[in-house]
Amino acid sequence: MKKGMIITMPRYDDVTEYFSQFSKEVIKEAEKELLPVKALVDKEATKSSFEKVANSLQYSLVVMNGHGNSKEIFGQDKEAIISEGVNEQLLVGRITYARACEAAASLGKLIISINNEGCFIGYELPFQFYADITWAGNPMKDNTAKLFLEPSNAVPISLIKGKTAAEANENSKRAILKNMNKILRNADKDSLAVAEALWNNYEGQVVIGNGEALL
């Protein structure tokens, strides 16, 4: 593997639009660090495109955004990009961060069982976030969504800055706790629901495999 990042950014509903918009901050950080990036955006975020890129570019970091379940991560229009028993080997030996529901519950464990030199950072539970529909057309100004998506961005950004997988995970989880404390101090009618969703992400986010892995 060599230093570089493959990132999937499907965009076909509100969730994937938010994920993709916030992923631009990750790409910006990679460019600042002169890290090569291959982004699969919109209709490029497909199984065939991902397989082609992953086979030709042996980049050490893969960031996957999208819907998912315990055995699959989806791309554009909910097409499975990675599936157990189909092409999980494409992530073997890499550092993968999956901002997708439940992908660490089974898929991540399978990948690491094949080869534990790499690692998988993701969620054993559904990834939750709230958004302010006022900003649906401009997600980066949505302060509610930032409470969830900036801490999740901290995983790949920390890796890009030279942190280990375990350190990246801890940086992200500290940011979640910081935002929980912030929102609970506000004590408005939505505070408890937002804090509970943040806690869900904190509890569900795990590192599987080599926590000392570096780009």
Q: What is the mean pLDDT of residues 70-75?
A: 98
Dump pLDDT digits (tens) for 158-181.
999 999 999 999 999 999 999 999
Is 106's pLDDT higher than 80?
A: yes
pTM (predicted TM-score): 0.96
| Residues near 27 by beta carbon (within 8 Å), at least 6 away in sequence | 7, 37, 39
The residues near 166 (Cβ < 8 Å, ≥ 6 apart) are 207, 211, 212
- 72 neighbors 37 (Cβ within 8 angstroms): no
- Quote the Cα angle for 22-147-186, to 5°: 155
CATH architecture of 2-209: 3-Layer(aba) Sandwich (3.40)
Please provide the distance, in angstroms rounded to a whole number, between the alpha carbons at the two ends of the chain: 9
pLDDT category at 145 given cuts 50, 70, 90 is very high
User: What DSSP character marks residue 132?
Assistant: -
pLDDT at 108: 98
Residue 189 has pLDDT above 80, yes or no: no
143: tokens are: 């302060």
Could you tell me which residues come within 8 angstroms of residue 203 by beta carbon, excluding any fewer than 6 positions away? 125
Domain ranges of the chain: 2-209
Count of all residues that appear for the chain in the document: 215
Residue 125 scores a pLDDT above 80: yes
Over residues 1-45, the pLDDT tens digits come to: 999 999 999 999 999 999 999 999 999 999 999 999 999 999 999
Q: Quick one: DSSP state of residue 12? A: S
Between the CA of residue 104 and those of 44, 98, 204, what are the distances in Å? 24, 8, 9
